[in-house]
Structure formats: C-alpha cells, structure tokens
Structure 1
Amino acid sequence: MNEMEGEVPLSGGRITPGVVRVGDTVRRPVAAGAPFVAELLQHLQKRGFTGAPRYLGLDSAGRDTFTYVPGWVPARFQQWNDDQVADAGALLRSFHEATRSSRLTGASPVVCHHDPGPNNVVFQQGRPAAFIDFDTAAPGDPLEDLGYMAWTWCVSSGAQAPPPRAQADHVRILARAYGLENSERGNLVEAVLDRQNRNALWWQQQLSSPEPRVAGREQILARIDWSRREHDHTAKHRAVFTKALR
C-alpha cells in the first residue's frame, strides 16, 4: 500500500481543504504562510511547548507534514464547563509565553494564533490539550487571541446559550486562568467586540473573492449574519461582562 492509499481525510477546521492523516502524521497543502508556521512550530518545540504539533518537513507530494496529535476536535461551538474554559486560557497563555522575546514576534509582544476557537483545539480526556491549524499565526497583541477565545468559548447569542451573567462568569474564569492583569481586563470586552467585527468583515470580503471560495455564498452570508448577531449580543450586555471582569 502506498502513502496515498493510507490517507484518511480530517475534518474539524472550517477553512483549509485537503488535510489528511497518514499513520501518526498529518499532511496538508502548503499555504502562503507555511515558512512562518514551520519556523514557529520548530521554535515551540525548542521552548518545550507541547500544546502544538511538530513540523516534520515536506512529504513526497510536496505537502507540509506534522505530527498527529491524538484526541478529539469539536466540529462546532458549544457550551464548556469551568475547567475546560480555564484550561483553554492556560493553554493560550503558555503558547504566548513560548513565543515572547523571540524574533518571530517582530515589533509585537507575542505571536498570536489568531483563530484559537474550540474547532482548532485538540481535547484529550475532555480537556483542551493542543492547538492545531496555525495558518493565520502572526505577530500580534495577546488581547487579539484572548478576545477571540472569550467570544468563541464563553459568549453566545444562541437561543440555547446560558444567560449573559453565566457567560460573563466564564469570561472571568478565562481571564483569570490566562493571567490577564487587572489593568488589562477593562480592554477584554472591547477585544471581543473587535474580533466579532473583524470576523464579519473577513467573511464579507470572501463574497468578492474569486472562485473557488472557502465556502458557498449562502454559508458565507450565514456567517456574516452570525458574527453581527454575536456582536450585537456582546454590545447589549457589555455592562454585565465588564462588571464580571472587575
């Protein structure tokens, strides 16, 4: 059996097509930011950060190859318990600290994942254990990632979501587990709103992108509407979230 015959398609991420598992490795088409991602993952390995795959180079088909991180990747956003939210915050802080003061950060404090939602996290024994899909990784401010994580792990406008006060409690747990300084906590709600706005804008831009797009037109429109609903929900309950973070 050759390498191609042993490929198992992987789902979980919502953007990158063509990701497959081959044995204990993951293969994926080379993306525009591949050199940065390769250097980042090699740097994380040297720093002893275990919450990411290792980069193994190119395979015979010219695809990037990474170690396979065993576990479960959620296919959709959902409700998480206190321990899961806290573990996510601690994992993000460990990632950021592993990049701090490296040449990869450029003029920024850290390297951000920029998409640390549950759909890009591997769970092991029910707990967040590792980030995957570093395509959007780039130098940035920690609040860019923490704002996105607070949104996608804690905040929801869905009809079945917990009440805003319970969501705010989870945002507080996340900020505490991350170790966000008290002086920075007042900026976290603004960071959530900013990421929701940016998400709507990103999907809006996809409507004018050439084919093939990352999703169909109806799916893109649905994600724009969802991002805007999430922003409206967060803005409406801003005082509740802000109070919980004091």
Structure 2
Amino acid sequence: MEDETPLSGGRITPGVVRIGNTVHRPPTTSTAFVVELLQYLEQQGFTGAPRHLGFDTHGRQILSYLPGDVPARFQRWIDSQVAAAGALLRALHDATRGSHLAGGHPVVCHHDPGPNNAVFRNEIPVALIDYDTAASGDPLEDLGYMSWTWCSSSKSGAPPATAQAAQVRLLADAYGLDEAGRAQLVEAMLDRQARNAQWWRIHLTGPSPRVAEEAQIIERIRWSEREYTYTLEHREVFTAALR
C-alpha cells in the first residue's frame, strides 16, 4: 500500500492525506452534500474541482488529486492571477446556477475561495479545493471573500489602497459582475470580514477539540478585525474603483 502524505492546503478539516493520485478526507457533516456537488460539477464539465471517487475502508472520502501548487500563505497576486481567479469562480457559479443544489438561491457558493484553497499551475489558479463549506448562496458571498483575500491587505508593506481597489475592479471584470453587484461588492467584503472574525470567536469559546490552537484562533480574529477596519477606512476608494 502506498504511503499517506499529510496535506495542509485547507485550514479547517484535519487529517487530509494524499495516497498516490488520490486525496482521502475524513467525513464531516457536509460530506454528503460535497459528494453530490462534485458529482454534479463533473456532469456539467467543470474541471476546476476534484472528482469524487468513493470512500475507503476507513470511511474517508476519496478524491482525485489535482497536481499543482497550493499557496501556504496569503500574498500579493499579480493581475493575471486575480483575473484567472475571478473567471474560475464565475465558471463554478455558472455550473451550479439554477440547479437543484442551489435551492432557492442563485448558485452554490464555495464560501472559502481564498488562495489557500486554489491549485496553481504555471503560476495561474486553475482549480478550487476543499468544498466542505460549500452551500447554496449569493455570488457576492464568494466575490466579497475573494476580493478581500486575493486583492486587499491591511499590512504596512502592502500596495496602496488605490492599487488594491484596481485589482478588485479587475476581479469584478473577470467575473463579469453586473452594475448592481458592483454597487454591493464592498459591502460584501466587509460582511465576509466581519463574519470571519465572528466564526473564529465562536470556535475560540467552543468545545474541544478546536479547529486550531487558541493562539492561532486569536490571531485570525485580530487579523479579520484589522482587515475590516482597513476596508471600512478605504471604503470610498474601493467603491469608486467599481463605478
């Protein structure tokens, strides 16, 4: 039997391993939906997601391994990478638009389409992994998160807000976001930043085992709060770029 190699691309589900050309993931409460979603995406011809291959003798979900690089940390991305991410997200949303999986919502959202859940080939994002948080929703839920994690940063060494805002516009252009969506995108960024902080607060006070170490959770709360404050302070800059 081939050796198991731990994978760390995702941040939430522990125990994910690679065995040869497959990935084995411990089951979660969302596994049944993920199975149905991945099978549906395959039927629709969407190539930016792994394939569901069944379950192993330990009850773990077996997925196809997508070759490429998964960034370990957020960083500054160039325009071509941001544009490719926007086009990839649009393809995912279009594949599920109006489907039974979307229910009463426009699409199925990934809900965590950050760079750490993207597979890069030749330095371009070509697929999204870790669909454990996928659920029906509004495209702006994903676009708000992607605008934040791919284009914006409160770090002192980051490009100025005007340059970040220009990339948010580039992302919206690549996605094909309409005028109404553009008017709501900055609010969607703020919403995802606030929700991210709250999500980690809940897990800080929740029962063990936690999804991360306490110090790591506290840092993610503080990071989300800093990002929210930064976006709020530069709200008009981001809004103007999307007009």
Q: TM-score range by the shorter chain?
A: over 0.9
Are 2:135 and 1:142 equivalent residues in the alignment? no
Residue number among 45, 53, 57 corresponding to 1:56 in the alignment: 53
Residue number among 19, 44, 49 corresponding to 1:22 in the alignment: 19
Residue by residue over 1:115-174, the C-alpha shift from the partner in whole angstroms, topping out at 9 and shown as x without a partner, is: 000000000110000000000000000000000000000010011111100000000000
Q: Give matches, 1:61-140, under 5 Å.
A: 61-140=58-137
Match for 1:104: what amino acid? L
In the alignment, the residues of structure 2 paired with residue 148 and residue 62 of structure 1 have an alpha-carbon distance, to the nearest angstrom, of: 32
Alignment partner, residue 229 of structure 1:
226
In the alignment, the residues of structure 2 paired with residue 62 and residue 12 of structure 1 have an alpha-carbon distance, to the nearest angstrom, of: 21
The normalised TM-score by structure 1 is 0.98
In the alignment, the residues of structure 2 paired with residue 12 and residue 53 of structure 1 have an alpha-carbon distance, to the nearest angstrom, of: 14
In the alignment, the residues of structure 1 paired with residue 49 and residue 69 of structure 2 have an alpha-carbon distance, to the nearest angstrom, of: 14
Q: What secondary structure, in the 3-state scheme, does the structure 1 residue paired with 2:205 have?
A: coil
Residue by residue over 1:72-107, the C-alpha shift from the partner in whole angstroms, topping out at 9 and shown as x without a partner, is: 000010000000000000000000000011100011
Match for 1:84: what amino acid? Q
In the alignment, the residues of structure 1 paired with residue 180 and residue 149 of structure 2 have an alpha-carbon distance, to the nearest angstrom, of: 23
Alignment partner, residue 241 of structure 1:
238
Match for 2:210: what amino acid? R
Are 2:219 and 1:216 equivalent residues in the alignment? no
Alignment partner, residue 191 of structure 1:
188
Match for 1:33: what amino acid? S
Match for 2:76: what amino acid? Q
In the alignment, the residues of structure 2 paired with residue 17 and residue 230 of structure 1 have an alpha-carbon distance, to the nearest angstrom, of: 26
Alignment partner, residue 36 of structure 2:
39
Q: What secondary structure, in the 3-state scheme, does the structure 2 residue paired with 1:186 have?
A: helix
Q: CA deviation at 1:183?
A: 2.2
RMSD over aligned CA atoms reads 0.7
In the alignment, the residues of structure 2 paired with residue 117 and residue 185 of structure 1 have an alpha-carbon distance, to the nearest angstrom, of: 20
The normalised TM-score by structure 2 is 0.99
Give the stretch that moved more between structures: 9-18 or 150-159. Answer: 9-18
The 4+ residue runs of structure 1 with deviation greater than 2 A are: none
Give the stretch that moved more between structures: 186-195 or 206-215. Answer: 206-215
Match for 2:121: what amino acid? Q
Q: What secondary structure, in the 3-state scheme, does the structure 2 residue paired with 1:26 have?
A: strand
Gaps of 5+ in 2: none
